[in-house]
Structure 1
Amino acid sequence: TEETLQETSAKLADTEDTLQETSAKLADTEETLQETSAKLAETEDTLQETSAKLAETEDTLQETAGKLAETEETLSLEVISVKEQLRAAQVLSEQQCVYLDHVMAYVGASYSVILDGLTELQWMAVEDMVMQTSSVVRRVSQAAHDEVERMKEMCNIADDNYKMTAERFDILRRILGKIDQDVKEASVEIDGQERRQSDSSRATPHRLGDVSNRENSMERKSSA
């Protein structure tokens, strides 16, 4: 019985050492969990700030999208109006050019008798004047036509720029949506880690006093 008690005491001593080591490891684990909890709290604060900024950015983006839609409508109306004005100007320019050609032909036919009576020098002067007038008319008509084409090109560029801006806003909206989803997933992960940490902290080791009480009880029985 004495040997059994000694063996039991030795085992209890080993068990107590093991429990002390386990208690020390649990203390280290508790400290690590506290540090992790602090870091998770900081990360959660950062994520909350990021979520707030994303919400503000989303609001700004929606406002900008609204303004862009208004700008698109205004620009579309202006482009339509300008195109109509340009078409009218082009038609008027072509009509004026044809009209002036008819006028020149009429003048030539009406004064052919008078022109026949002019000297060669006078004829050359009149012919030069007619050519200069015709040249001026054609240059003015060409300038008007070029201006029409330039305005058309400007309208096309403005339309292309709007489409490009709309595409960029759509890409930005998708990026912000992805970031917002990542933030939500990270928040869920943090909540899960905090719950696991809380569950781990509730598990406590056996008290060393329980071992000592059992050992004392066995010694008292042996003495009896």
Structure 2
Amino acid sequence: MSKSILIVDDDREIANLIDIYLRNEGFDTAQAHDGLEALAMLESQAFHLIVLDIMMPKMDGMEVCRRIREKGSIPILMASAKAEDMDKILGLMTGADDYVVKPFNPLELVVRVKTLLRRAYQYTQQTSPSGNEEGLLKLHELTINKSTHSAEVEGRPIHLTSTEFGILHLLASNPGRVFSAEDIFQQVWKEKYFESNNTVMVHISKLREKLEQEMGRKLITTVWGVGYKIEG
């Protein structure tokens, strides 16, 4: 079954361009042209991913993203003319999985979409010293299920984005091993890492906040100047 994607952009020419490229790749698409329309469509239809503009009338993309994250973990790719690092960080802290800057190459956007969908929905069975054939990982009171892309603490679910889950599963699968930001980016995003890229740091920060809220203690440790790890 083909994946369905909601394109949210008040610029109809850009929305139509994205639509054409995604349909050419076999995706089902729908469009919304402001934030309120997007939220209404999400209430009535199921989508696998959202391409979300930031600067829109009635409700901007940041607020749309915040409201979506209150209810679920659908992958969100933000697309915006704002290129400053703080705008990217704010978008990622709000809950976006990835961020592209306008004007973008439509083919690059298609690649980002496919990467996010693969990360969120293409489950693979993996084992580890603390796991089993069903893809379960257990670390103290934390249980991570690769087959359902879910994590819970003593039965309480932790609502993670697909990117946050990918980072958590990577670290938890290798307890005690230190991963640099470059290692994490290349293994989770499957893309080349650029030195100025602070995407990993932002996602680690959000992931830590969610884990510590449920566990009451720190799980991910920073090894200064090297990277991040989870102790077994």
TM-score (norm 2): 0.14
Which of the pair has the greater relative contact order for Cα pairs under 8 Å at 6+ separation?
A: 1
Specify which structure has the higher proportion of strand. 2
More helix by share: 1
